[in-house]
Amino acid sequence: MKTFGDVRALDGVDLDVPEGTVLGLLGPNGAGKTTTVRVLTTLLRPDSGRAVVAGVDVLKHPNEVRRSIGLSGQFAAVDEYLTGRENLHMVGRLYQMSGRAAKARAAELLERFGLADAADRPAKTYSGGMRRRLDLAAALVVSPPVMFMDEPTTGLDPRNRQALWEVIQELVAGGTTLLLTTQYLEEADHLAHEICVVDHGRVIARGTSDQLKARTGGERVEVVVHRPDEIAAGREVLAAFGRSGAVTVEEHTRRLTVPVTGGAKLLAEVIRELDARGVEIDDIGLRRPTLDDVFISLTGHAAEQKDAPDAPDAAGATAASRKDPLK
Ligand SMILES: Nc1ncnc2c1ncn2[C@@H]1O[C@H](COP(=O)(O)OP(=O)(O)OP(=O)(O)O)[C@@H](O)[C@H]1O
Ligand SMILES: [Mg+2]
């Protein structure tokens, strides 16, 4: 457990990551992801609890733990005045690589992260995404047995995100155990063997991505009706097809969503029924659950929303417990 004033940042986070696998820690802003990473990487002492990394007790032997881990933090830790190349070279030297090996590794990483052209410019001239990439490259200079990456792809464009995913997959194929935090289910989906969903400093669900999605109610049918006055009829139709009957409505975009089982065949039936009721549609589709869906289903409200119009009771109860962090 870890409290900051009255905020219980961690309130019983219980994790274990089998060697050589990736655990994705998923959660909204303020869930406790960074705090968890800071405790496990010896940067923060919890008020109570126990943590073991690479077989070593984090609280009793922090120095020993530091020797076997690597960390890429949420905020870049690069030296502004050094060039990209110098930053990476310095990290290699700090980890006791030979000058030649450090240079070669720096050049390789600069290339992989699309920083070769900017390699000899001071880091202070880099854009936000370039800094982020340099920071990630710095974390990958050596391949420690246990790696921690805190939201590694936040702020990266799709091409660089893909590049990082590849580097991470290679790292894990080489035997590294990874704890990765992210706000994107898609990313956890792609990289993580197992996913832990945290909210308010607590693990609220754990499983493979398929298990979580199944718990969330599988696929969604999403319909955008043409006119605001068609929302009510659209909602009735979807409620009849929905697995749990819980239709989510976004009034301003006229978007209705419901968890379903039955796939494409069901979609055709929904279209027929909407047509029969005279509901005109702008868009309709079947999609896989998103992180928001996981949240709505696990907590009764969206990750960022204050309350959910469709579940006033559940949302009310959650809002009340949110105000009192000691509950
Ligand atoms: N040093 C600190 N002092 C006071 N409160 C803190 C401190 N660090 C974290 N907190 C609080 O602890 C809670 C968890 O924060 P944490 O940084 O772990 O969240 P997170 O899951 O990493 O969120 P994000 O997605 O925004 O990075 C938040 O309520 C935060 O305000
Ligand atoms: Mg964080």
Q: Which of 212, 239, 273 is the last residue of a domain?
A: 212
CA distances from 46 to 14, 16, 68, 74, 229 (A): 13, 17, 20, 19, 53
Q: Is 50 exposed, middle or buried (0-12, 13-18, 19+ CB in 10 A)?
A: exposed
Q: What are the beta bridge partners of residue 83?
A: 122
Which residue, by CA, sits nearest to atom 18 of ligand 1?
A: 32
- Return the pLDDT at 314: 35
Residue 272 is part of a domain; what is its CATH number?
A: 3.30.70.100
**Could you identify the atom of ligand 1 that is nearest to the CA of residue 5?**
4
pLDDT, one tens digit per residue, over 284-302 is: 999 887 767 777 777 666 5
Q: Which of 177, 212, 247 is the last residue of a domain?
A: 212
**Same domain for 285 and 198:** no
- Return the pLDDT at 192: 93
Q: Which of 167, 183, 212 is the last residue of a domain?
A: 212
Give the Cα separation of 93 and 98 in Å (integer).
7
Tally of domains within the chain: 2
Residue 94 binned pLDDT confidence (cut-offs 50, 70, 90): confident
**Same domain for 184 and 230:** no
On the question of pLDDT at 262 being above 80, the answer is no
**Same domain for 67 and 152:** yes
Helix (H, G, I), strand (E, B) or coil at 246: coil
- Return the pLDDT at 244: 61
Ligand 1 lining (C-beta closer than 6 Å): 4, 7, 9, 27, 29-35, 74
**Same domain for 197 and 260:** no
How remote is the CA of residue 276 from the centroid of ligand 1, in Å? 51
* DSSP letter, residue 56: E
**Same domain for 179 and 35:** yes
Mean pLDDT over residues 260-286, rounded? 91
- Percentage of residues in the chain with pLDDT exceeding 70? 88
**Same domain for 106 and 6:** yes
Give the Cα separation of 327 and 280 in Å (integer).
46
pLDDT, one tens digit per residue, over 2-40 is: 888 888 888 878 888 888 899 999 888 888 999 999 999
Does this model's pTM top 0.85? My answer is no
User: For residue 93, what is the enclosing H or E element?
Assistant: helix 84-94
How remote is the CA of residue 134 from the centroid of ligand 1, in Å? 24
On the question of pLDDT at 46 being above 60, the answer is yes
* DSSP letter, residue 277: T
**Same domain for 207 and 258:** no
Residue 198 is part of a domain; what is its CATH number?
A: 3.40.50.300
DSSP for 189-224 reads: HHH-SEEEEEETTEEEEEE-HHHHHHHTTSEEEEEE
**Same domain for 224 and 148:** no
How remote is the CA of residue 46 from the centroid of ligand 1, in Å? 13
Mean pLDDT over residues 162-167, rounded? 87
* Residue ranges making up the domain that contains 274: 215-323
